[in-house]
Structure 1
Amino acid sequence: MARRRRHEARPIHADPVYESPLVGRMIGYVLRRGKLSTASRLVYNAIKKANEGGSGGDPLAVVNRAIDNVKPRLEVKSRRVGGATYQVPVETTPERQLSLALRWIVDLANNRKGVAFERALAQEIRDAAAGQGNAVKKRDETHRMAQANRAFAHLRW
């Protein structure tokens, strides 16, 4: 185990267009092979498209609502006791909630076949903001797993 102090997290820089660290992180999750301009263009166009179908208000509000709807409050972690492995429900930290929500939205948009990624990301953001879609299903599934295994909550560490 490390005997030094905890590693200091790097500051997340806000993106230049919306000046939001959240969008900056989303761009980071979309980023492939260091192509920042491509990732930025995809995310900005997706946010713009996700907001088109709505009220035409603040596009950042749609993204924030989508992320809040996808954030998991609980998750299960494997814990080995004796010879058995138990799925122990644990509360997720706010930082992990945000990371999981962003990762799920981007990954599930990537898994949508037959549509361009930009369009799929826009649709996933729009669906998540409305409280439906694959990312919200994934959050519900995670909560269901935690609920089903709450008998093992006493094994939490």
Structure 2
Amino acid sequence: MIAKPKSKGQIIVLLFTLLKRHVGGSTHQVPIEIGSTQGKALTIRWLLGTSRKRPGRNMAFKLSFELVDAAKGSDDAIRKKEETHRMAEANRAFAH
């Protein structure tokens, strides 16, 4: 369900997100597949959010360091993507 990058420089766009659905008296997080455009927008939003938290001189430096860390795979936005994919995999039973 979740593709792994074939090369080190390849970045995979988020393909799943979780929606909260009320099913049978309880709320479940249901994984849904999202489109390429929405996935890219979500990825950019996560990169901007994590770069705002980073200490530095100005936004250009912070964003450039964030992109370098994302390419290395050691970024908070990458961890957030992996966490979302783990949750989607765990809640796969609720997807119809």
Which category describes the TM-score, using the shorter chain as reference length?
0.7 to 0.9
1:66-87 Cα deviation digits (max 9, x unpaired): xx62621211111112321110
Greater length-normalized contact order (CA 8 Å, ≥ 6 residues apart): 2
Partners of 1:111 and 1:71 in 2: CA distance: 22
Q: Which has the higher strand share?
A: 2
1:1-157 to structure 2, matched below 5 A, reads: 69=11, 71-112=13-54, 114-116=55-57, 117-154=59-96
Structure 1 unaligned regions, length at least 5: 1-64
Tell me the CA shift for residue 95 of structure 1: 1.3
**TM-score between the two structures when normalised by the length of structure 2:** 0.80
Look up the equivalent residue of 1:120 and give its one-letter code: K
Q: Identity of paired residues, percent?
A: 39
Structure 2 unaligned regions, length at least 5: 1-8
Structure showing greater Rg: 1
Kindly report the root-mean-square deviation, in angstroms, between the aligned alpha carbons of the 2 structures: 1.7
Q: Which has the higher helix share?
A: 1
Tell me the CA shift for residue 101 of structure 1: 0.7
